[in-house]
Each structure stands twice: as structure tokens, then as C-alpha cells.
Amino acid sequence: MLLLIPVDKKDYANANIARIDEKKAWVTIKMDNGYIEKYSFYDNRDDIEDFVDYLIIKDKNDDIEEFLDDGIDVLIAPFQNDIEEIIEAYKFKELHEI
């Protein structure tokens, strides 16, 4: 399972989710059996070669059409800010679907 999150910096411990139009980078999180297997930061979405299963966004008003067109499901993290909070919410199915 590969998650994609727009973030405000390339620092796993200190990055927070950002609106797509305000992001500084993308982070992909590869999940395996509820655990983080690997994470990677990218400047451009086009650099991501693996299939993304879920885009996690901060705001339901983000422009997500291109992701939906690519077959990527979208989840909203309305209260979670940092990557760890988002991963925990994902594992416990606390993120909202669009």
C-alpha cells in the first residue's frame, strides 16, 4: 500500500501535511501489514514511479481531479498534522473518504 501526502518540508520528523497548492514536497509512505516499510520524499509528483493507492489531503477543497483520473483514492486528514498522526489515523481507519 502506497500513501502520498503533500508536505511543507522534506523532514520526516517535522513535516506537516500541506494543501496541494502550498506543498514544498511530496512524501510517499509504503505500508506493509500496518507498519511503515519505507518512505521517500519527492519534489515532483511525476518522479514517483510506483502506483499510489491513496492520496491524503488536508482540505476537501484541494484540487484532486488529476489524482482521481489516475485511479488514486483520496482520504482527508482533517485533524491530523504530522506524518505520524496521519499514519496512525490511516491504520485505525480514522481518515475520511472523498
Over the stretch 34-56, which tens digit does the pLDDT of each residue have? 899 999 999 999 999 999 999 99
Question: Which residues in the chain belong to E strands, given as ranges?
Answer: 2-7, 25-32, 35-42, 54-57, 73-76, 96-97
Contact 18, 83 (CB under 8 A): no
Report the C-alpha gap between 95 and 86 in whole angstroms: 8
Q: Give the tens place of pLDDT for each residue, 20-29.
A: 999 999 999 9
- Please state the pTM of the whole predicted model: 0.96
Q: Give the tens place of pLDDT for each residue, 77-87.
A: 999 999 999 99
